[in-house]
Amino acid sequence: MIQLGTALKCLAPPFHRCLVISDPQTNGGHVVLVRLTTDDGTWPDRDCVLTARDWDELEHDSTVAYSTCKFGKAVDSLERSIQDGVFQEIARPSDAVLRRVIAAGHTAAGMPRGAKRFLAQF
């Protein structure tokens, strides 16, 4: 079930990790999904960089790509994507890391205003 903290790995290259940083069970089913991408220093989103020490599902330093987040009523479509093999559910990060990602999302310039209103209050 898609919920706050659900973590996914895309099963197509470049195998991004994604996190649900909203609580669809309390906000009418709205999902805010952010992806993590390689931190090569050039990505415009610099609000939250995570390492493998932060979350062992990461293979290298990664930045949270708030500016490319997806949001909306997507619980059913995400669950279908898992069933169809587009995503694989993986171990979620610690609560401390999840809080850090959400906190940065509240102030990230790249996070769409519409998505910010659905961010979890964690």
Q: From edge to edge, which strands make up the β-sheet containing 49-50?
A: 49-50, 62-73, 30-38, 17-20, 7-10, 87-90
Q: What is the pLDDT of residue 22?
A: 98
* Distance from C-alpha of 46 to C-alpha of 95, rounded to nearest angstrom: 21
pLDDT at 121: 87
109 contact partners, CB below 8 Å, separation of at least 6:
47
Domains annotated for the chain, with CATH where assigned, are 7-116 (2.30.30)
Give the pLDDT of residue 21.
98
Contact (Cβ atoms closer than 8 angstroms) between residue 29 and residue 118: no
Write out the two tokens for 48: 């939250």
Give this prediction's pTM: 0.95
Q: What is the pLDDT of residue 113?
A: 94
What pLDDT, on a 0 to 100 scale, did the predictor assign at position 122? 74
Ranges in the chain, pLDDT < 70: none
The CA distance from 2 to 79, in Å, is: 7
